[in-house]
Amino acid sequence: RYVEDTLDSVLAQTLPPQVVVVDDGSTDETATILRRYADRIHILRHEGGSNRGAAESRNLGIAATTSPYLAFLDADDLLFPHKIDFQIKHFWFGNNLDISITDYLLCDETLSEFKPPEPNIGKYNLSLDDFLFQWERGLSIPIHSALFKRSALSDVRFNETLSAKEDWLLWCTQLIHRRLISYLNIWGAAYRQHADAMTKKNVNEMGRMWLKSASLIAEQLEDKEAFLAASDEWYHIHYEYAIKEQE
């Protein structure tokens, strides 16, 4: 439905990217649309054409690329012109950066209205504590705001046991592994808000994945009590309330 906009935004980047598209078991017109781009993209599918979810699809894409830099983009979101170019320069001039993050704008389904999130990413230090205690409670970073050095994903991949919240676990694990994340003060991406977005479906599953992700993060922490208490509190405030509202 939105994949043409997404692909056009990638192919319009200044530096010609190596574009790998993982068709995660689509049943609509996605395959037909992708064939129109076949000379400019590399199309992958899971075995049997099955749907495996975001984490496994992204890991499949990582394994299929050779680029020293990696970016991820869901099929309904957009990159603004020159984003990748600016972020590569960020790596050139930054001090041993592993991950560059730009800010992003929220947009509506028709791409007619754009607005910044509140608060924006630049208000945070992007420390481990920010990701442990502020994620979803102010801090939110769409995965397509980031550009990763390939080395940052050599030993930290997306957890394929999660159907959601895989980004939160990835960010925290990166910082626990002492990766250096730095903010680049530009609007680099657009996050499309629409009625079909996964984050509006199955709140119960989202809550379950929140708790599972928190447990996986806690396994990596020496001092985990405060983190688990804060994560549990957010589950009760946000997810339990939303689940009751849906009943």
- Which pair of structure tokens corresponds to residue 23? 């068709």
* E runs forming strands in 48-177: 69-70, 78-79, 99-107, 114-115, 146-149
- pLDDT of 247 reads 65
pLDDT on residue 198: 47
- pLDDT for the residue numbered 135: 98
- Low-confidence residues of the chain, pLDDT below 50? 198
Are 94 and 19 contacting, i.e. CB atoms less than 8 angstroms apart? no
Which pLDDT score, from 0 to 100, does residue 103 have? 98
- Spatial separation of the C-alpha atoms in residues 4 and 9, rounded to whole Å: 9
pLDDT in tens, 161-185: 999 999 999 999 999 999 999 999 9
Q: What is the pLDDT of residue 245?
A: 74
**pLDDT tens for each residue of 38-65:** 999 999 989 888 889 999 999 999 999 9
Q: Give the pLDDT confidence score for residue 200 in this predicted structure.
A: 53
Shortest CA distance to 61 belongs to which of 164, 1, 143? 143
- Unique residue bearing structure tokens 């208490």: 229
